[in-house]
Copies of this chain bind each other. A is one copy, B any other.
C-alpha cells in the first residue's frame, strides 16, 4: 500500500515539527483554523449537501441523516470548539516526576506528544475538526479515516484546516485524511505500526471489534457502555428515581446511559411500583425477573441476553438481588467496564461497591451520564476508554500524550 506508506511517512515528518512548536504557536494556529472554518461555512455546507443528498438517495435513516447534516450553527459550534481547545492548558512539557539517583544521575519524567495518532470514526463530520484540534494541541500528527457517508464534508473540512496550517507555517500533514473507502485500505491502515503510535476507533461495537481484531497498532477501545445502577436496600428513594430516569432517558443513544437496573429485594416493594410508573411515563420498556414483574405489571420477561445488551434505546433490563455482593458480581459479569452506580445512604455498602466494581467510573448517588470529559472538567474529550491500558474513562488532552525519561549525568557508567 504505497499510498498509506506515504501518508505514514508524511505524518512522521510532521510529528517531529509539531513536537517543536510552542504552546503559543499551537494556540495561534488553532484560532486561525477556527476562524477559517467560520469563514468557509458556505464551502462546507456545499460539500455536506452532496453527502446528504447521496445518503438520502441511498435510503439512510432519519436519525443518521440528522447526524450527517451540517448547519451554519453546527459549523459555528465546530469552530468554537477549536477556540476552546486553544484555551486549554498544554499538557506537553509537564515534568511529571523528578528524581536523583545515588550515582548522581538526575532523571526527569516529562510529558511528550504521543507522536502519530490514527482515528477511525463513523457518521458525524464534526469529529474531523474536533479530533484534529485535540490531537494537534497535544502535539500530535493525526491520520483520520472518517465514515464513507461524510466523504465530501470530511474532505472539505480537512482541506480548510490544511490550507490554514500552511498559512501558519505549520506542516499541513499535521492532519491527513484517508479518502479511500476500500476495506483492504482500512485494514492496511490498522497495520501501519511503523508510523502510527496509537489507533483510536470511535463508533459502534462492530467497528471497535474489527479494529481490535485487525490492528497491530496499539488500540484504545472506546465507547461501548452497558452501564448499571444498583438500588441498595439503604437507598434514598427520593434520589434513586430521578437518577435512574436521568441516566436512562436524558439521552438515549449514548454510551453512558443506564441500560440495566439491579434492585435489592428488601427495597423492591417500596421502590419498584413508583419507578415502574416513572419509567412507563417516559415510554421505557422494562424487562425484568419474576419479582420485578410482580411489582411492575407492564414489565416483560428478561432473558440472560438482556442483561448483556447495550440497548441505546427506550428499553431497560431489571433484576432483583439479595446483597451488595450479588450486585457487584452481576455487574462485573455483564458490564463493559464503563460506568456503574450504587444508590445508597449506607457508607459501608458504598465503599464495597466502589472497591468491587471493575469499571472506569464507579458512582455513588449520581447519574452515570456524568462520564464525560467536559463533565469531568477536562475541557474536551476524544472518547471514553473502556480498557485498562494507558487511559481509562474520559480521555482529554493529557490522555493523548506519552512520556519520556530525560537522564543527565556527568560521565556515569554502570558497574
A358 on interface, CB distance cutoff 8 Å: yes
Q: In chain B, what residue has the closest Cβ to A197?
A: B388
Q: Identify 5 residue pairs between A and B in the complex whose beta-carbon atoms are under 8 Å apart, listed by A's number.
A: A197-B388, A218-B218, A238-B411, A243-B411, A354-B406
A126 on interface, CB distance cutoff 8 Å: no
Residues of B within 8 A of A408 (CB): 350, 363-366
Residues of B within 8 A of A361 (CB): 404-405, 407
Q: Determine if A409 and B364 form an interchain contact, defined as CB atoms under 8 angstroms apart.
A: yes
C-alpha gap A6/B246 in the complex (Å): 39
Q: Determine if A404 and B393 form an interchain contact, defined as CB atoms under 8 angstroms apart.
A: yes
Q: Determine if A370 and B105 form an interchain contact, defined as CB atoms under 8 angstroms apart.
A: yes
Partner pick for A413 among B101, B193, B369, CB 8 A cutoff: B369
A-B CB proximity, top 5 nearest: A366-B409, A246-B413, A239-B411, A369-B414, A388-B402
Q: Determine if A114 and B388 form an interchain contact, defined as CB atoms under 8 angstroms apart.
A: yes
Residues of B within 8 A of A410 (CB): 239, 365-366
A60 on interface, CB distance cutoff 8 Å: no
| Contact A101:B402 (CB < 8 A) given known A218-B388, A407-B366 | no
Q: Taking A239-B411, A245-B413, A365-B409 as given, write out 5 further A-B residue pairs in contact, using a Cβ cutoff of 8 Å, ordered by the A residue number.
A: A115-B388, A362-B407, A365-B411, A366-B411, A367-B414
Residues of B within 8 A of A406 (CB): 354, 362, 364
C-alpha gap A219/B362 in the complex (Å): 26
Residues of B within 8 A of A376 (CB): 101, 107, 405
A49 on interface, CB distance cutoff 8 Å: no
| Contact A216:B216 (CB < 8 A) given known A16-B356, A115-B358, A369-B414 | no
Partner pick for A404 among B332, B359, B366, B409, CB 8 A cutoff: B359
Residues of A within 8 A of B (CB): 16, 19-20, 99, 101, 105, 107, 114-115, 193, 197-198, 212-213, 216, 218-220, 236, 238-239, 242-243, 245-247, 250, 332, 350, 354-356, 358-367, 369-370, 375-377, 387-390, 392-393, 402-414
Q: Determine if A413 and B358 form an interchain contact, defined as CB atoms under 8 angstroms apart.
A: no
Instruction: Say how many copies of this protein the assembly contains.
Output: 2
Q: In chain B, what residue has the closest Cβ to A214?
A: B216
Residues of B within 8 A of A114 (CB): 388-389
| Contact A413:B367 (CB < 8 A) given known A362-B404, A376-B101, A402-B389 | yes
Residues of B within 8 A of A403 (CB): 392
Residues of B within 8 A of A99 (CB): 377
Q: Determine if B413 and A377 form an interchain contact, defined as CB atoms under 8 angstroms apart.
A: no
Q: Determine if B413 and A243 form an interchain contact, defined as CB atoms under 8 angstroms apart.
A: yes
Partner pick for A370 among B390, B411, B412, CB 8 A cutoff: B412
Residues of B within 8 A of A105 (CB): 366, 370
| Contact A212:B193 (CB < 8 A) given known A364-B408, A389-B402 | yes
Residues of B within 8 A of A393 (CB): 404-405
C-alpha gap A375/B99 in the complex (Å): 12
Residues of B within 8 A of A375 (CB): 101, 414
Partner pick for A360 among B20, B101, B405, B414, CB 8 A cutoff: B405
Q: Determine if B216 and A213 form an interchain contact, defined as CB atoms under 8 angstroms apart.
A: yes
Residues of B within 8 A of A213 (CB): 216
Residues of B within 8 A of A409 (CB): 363-366
Q: In chain B, what residue has the closest Cβ to A193?
A: B212
C-alpha gap A355/B408 in the complex (Å): 13
Partner pick for A389 among B218, B359, B360, B412, CB 8 A cutoff: B218
Residues of B within 8 A of A407 (CB): 361-364, 366, 370
Q: Determine if B389 and A220 form an interchain contact, defined as CB atoms under 8 angstroms apart.
A: yes
A192 CB to closest chain B CB, in angstroms? 13
A106 CB to closest chain B CB, in angstroms? 9
Q: Determine if B388 and A198 form an interchain contact, defined as CB atoms under 8 angstroms apart.
A: yes
C-alpha gap A107/B373 in the complex (Å): 13
